[in-house]
Amino acid sequence: MQLNCNKMIPQDFESWHDCITKKCKLALTKDFAQSRLAVYRQAQHPETIEFIRLYGIDHYRRIRSWFERIVNANDI
């Protein structure tokens, strides 16, 4: 049986935020978002390459934009 991974991976900010903060119990702080962006902004970083390999370029772009949103937000 093959799983539909798109249903397992959040496709919008609100779902992703809920998944990370409630299910994974991680705090999506600006510091955390900045630390992830420090990696994901480096196209040749091994973590970035592996993330894109596993989840695809579209999800990588979404994740980067969501971390950017956290870094630039005043109320998240």
pLDDT tens string, the chain, 76 residues long: the values are: 334 445 678 999 999 999 999 999 999 999 999 999 999 999 999 999 999 999 999 999 999 999 999 999 875 5
On whether the pTM is more than 0.85, the answer is no
Nearest to 63 by CA among 74, 55, 73: 55
Q: What is the pLDDT of residue 43?
A: 96
Question: What was the pLDDT predicted at 75?
Answer: 56
Nearest to 36 by CA among 69, 14, 3: 69
Where in the chain are the domains? 27-76
Q: What is the pLDDT of residue 5?
A: 46
**What is the per-residue pLDDT for 8?**
78
